[in-house]
Amino acid sequence: MKLIDLTLAIGPQSLEQKAPADPPQPRSVLATRTWTVRGGERVYRARVHDMAHWSMAGTYLDLPGHIAETDDGVDAAALPLARLYRLPSTVVRLQRASGSGRIGADELAGAAPSEVSGAALVLNALGERRFDEIEYRSVYLGRDAVQWIAETGIHLLVSDVYESDAEPQGVFPALFERGICAVCCPVELHRLEDPHPLITALAPRYTGATQVPCRLLAEQADLP
């Protein structure tokens, strides 16, 4: 098996992920302090960090409770690991350009492998482009595409595109009311050659949080 890291690192660039209309957010900050520690006859310096960032820093996980109206009472501390760990998945790949607009159900169905199975769906709509290399939210899922996704029976969606500001489709409420969690701002999705990798989204057990940064990993078979 080959392990692929699909995670965007948290750093100062995390500020750039905010929607243009959002109020300014604090930059992701990592401040380091050094403590002098005495251990027997040895003296050494230990580094500790103060970290400040918003919940959409790097690659992040949205639970249904991210929207108050679809809150199922499950936060990041209570979410069962079985909903995040080594999930069989199906990869659907498109080659959408910046500004190309709405993705419909027929397009997804036509691009999907012959067998769509597993607890997770990975949508690589932008090919080798990253989510932040196109005009913001200029490629997005239509309502019928969300319905198609929901009917696959998944409970985790990993995608490099979701909603539109210019033509809102209600993507996140439609996913969350069906109990589907969403991973946003993944990277390197084009490296997934296996159409059915195992997907893991490792999130901190953060009491009360319904949106948290996560480490997104894929295990794929060694293809010839």
Domain range holding 127?
2-9+55-220
β-pair partners for 20: none
Residue, of 212 and 31, whose pLDDT is higher: 212
Across residues 16-31, what is the average pLDDT? 59
The number of folded domains in the chain is 2
Predicted pLDDT at 26: 52
**Mean per-residue pLDDT over the chain, rounded:** 92
- Does one domain contain both 161 and 133? yes
CATH number of the domain where residue 200 is located: 3.50.30.50
Report in angstroms the alpha-carbon separations of 58 from 4, 185, 217. Answer: 16, 7, 14
Q: In the predicted model, is pLDDT for residue 29 greater than 90?
A: no
What's the half-sphere exposure (Cβ side, CA atoms, 13 Å) at 1? 11
Closest CA to 157 of 63, 73, 77, 76: 63
Residues 6+ apart with CB under 8 A from 166: 137, 138
Q: What pLDDT, in 10s, does the model give residues 58-101? A: 999 999 999 999 999 999 999 999 999 999 999 999 999 999 99
> Can you say whether residue 86 is alpha, beta or left, with left for phi > 0 and alpha for psi between -120 and 50 degrees?
left
- Does one domain contain both 79 and 153? yes
Across residues 190-214, what is the average pLDDT? 97
Q: What pLDDT, in 10s, does the model give residues 136-195? A: 999 999 999 999 999 999 999 999 999 999 999 999 999 999 999 999 999 999 999 999
Q: In the predicted model, is pLDDT for residue 48 greater than 80?
A: yes
- Does one domain contain both 37 and 72? no
- Does one domain contain both 179 and 207? yes
